[in-house]
């Protein structure tokens, strides 16, 4: 099938594709802008070092790079420990006012770290900023208290906690991206439906269709005559007949 034939199929059912795109994009936009809850994020920062009384790892008054690298490697372990029920169950037990289960906390909490640093960030996402701040502060405090029991080492300190009273803007929604994805998907679905309908349509409309079916080229074609043209031809024939009759009568006289 040539490119022109593909375009003819698309152009023939372009209205169906456009209608499907509108039908999908409009509800997606309404839902994304009006029905989705605004989400807020709050975070606290934790520093990992070998001595909680020191902001840097020192040995004989000099920076110990090997010790710092050891702390950086520990951060990978700590990131996994925070997201376990072992920590979250303690948070649920010590902070019942959060009214969350351990599984719900795990889904609200995230942990990130900056490469080649001893700092890790714990963040929480919730529909209320103050609640998100309380969640992240609770998790940070429990983690700091529980890590010496798990790792037999006390090297975690909270750099700064989240402020529940801060005026923070909500996380920007992905409404435009959702609409764009909806348009692309509906366009692809519309193309698929258009080609499927053309494949299922076995009506004969062109000379090429006839040649494909019978295996021989068409030798002649009968043009379609619309009703207006047919009526005009009939009227012209009637007038010509009347003129001929008048002429014959004159000749006979």
Please report the pLDDT score of residue 170 as a whole number: 73
In the prediction, which pLDDT does 6 show?
Answer: 80
- CA-wise closest residue to 138 among 88, 188, 199, 103: 88
Q: What's the confidence (pLDDT) of residue 178?
A: 85
Asked if residues 156 and 52 have their Cβ atoms less than 8 Å apart, the reply is yes
For the entire predicted model, the pTM comes to 0.57
pLDDT of residue 59: 46
Looking at residue 135, its pLDDT comes to 93
Taking the C-alpha atoms of 12, 15, 18 and 22 in order, what is their torsion angle to the nearest 10 degrees? Answer: -160
Residue pLDDT, tens place only, 238-250: 555 554 554 454 4
What pLDDT is attached to residue 53? 44
At 94-133, the pLDDT tens digits run 999 988 999 999 999 998 887 777 888 999 988 888 999 9
At 195, give phi and psi (nearest 5°).
-70, -35
What would you report as the CA-atom Rg of the chain, rounded to the nearest whole angstrom? 39
How many angstroms separate the first and last alpha carbons of the chain?
70
* Spans of the chain, pLDDT less than 50: 52-61, 243, 246-247, 249-253
Residue 148, pLDDT score: 86
pLDDT of residue 56: 45
Query: Parallel, antiparallel, or unpaired for β 119-126 and 40-48?
Result: antiparallel
Q: Note whether 110 and 171 are within 8 A (CB).
A: no
């Amino acid at each position: 099938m040539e490119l022109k034939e593909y375009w003819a199929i698309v152009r023939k059912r372009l209205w169906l594709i456009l209608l499907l795109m509108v039908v999908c994009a409009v509800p997606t936009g309404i839902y994304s802008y009006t029905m989705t809850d605004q989400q807020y994020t709050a975070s606290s920062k934790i520093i990992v070092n070998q001595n909680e009384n020191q902001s840097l790892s020192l040995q004989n008054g000099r920076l110990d790079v090997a010790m710092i690298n050891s702390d950086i490697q520990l951060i990978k372990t700590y990131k996994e420990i925070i997201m376990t029920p072992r920590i979250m169950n303690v948070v649920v037990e010590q902070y019942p006012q959060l009214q969350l289960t351990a599984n719900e906390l795990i889904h609200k909490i995230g942990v990130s770290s900056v490469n080649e640093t001893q700092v890790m960030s714990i963040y929480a996402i919730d529909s209320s900023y103050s609640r998100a701040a309380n969640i992240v502060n609770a998790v940070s405090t429990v983690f700091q208290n529980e890590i010496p029991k798990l790792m037999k080492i006390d090297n975690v300190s909270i750099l700064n906690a989240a402020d529940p009273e801060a005026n923070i803007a909500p996380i920007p929604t992905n409404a435009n991206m959702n609409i764009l994805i909806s348009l692309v998907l509906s366009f692809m679905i519309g193309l698929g439906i258009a080609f499927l309908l053309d494949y299922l349509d076995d009506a004969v409309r062109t000379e090429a269709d006839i040649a494909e079916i019978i295996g021989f080229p068409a030798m002649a074609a009968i043009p379609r005559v619309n009703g207006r043209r047919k009526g005009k031809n009939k009227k012209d024939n009637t007038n010509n007949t009347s003129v001929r009759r008048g002429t014959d009568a004159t000749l006979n006289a």
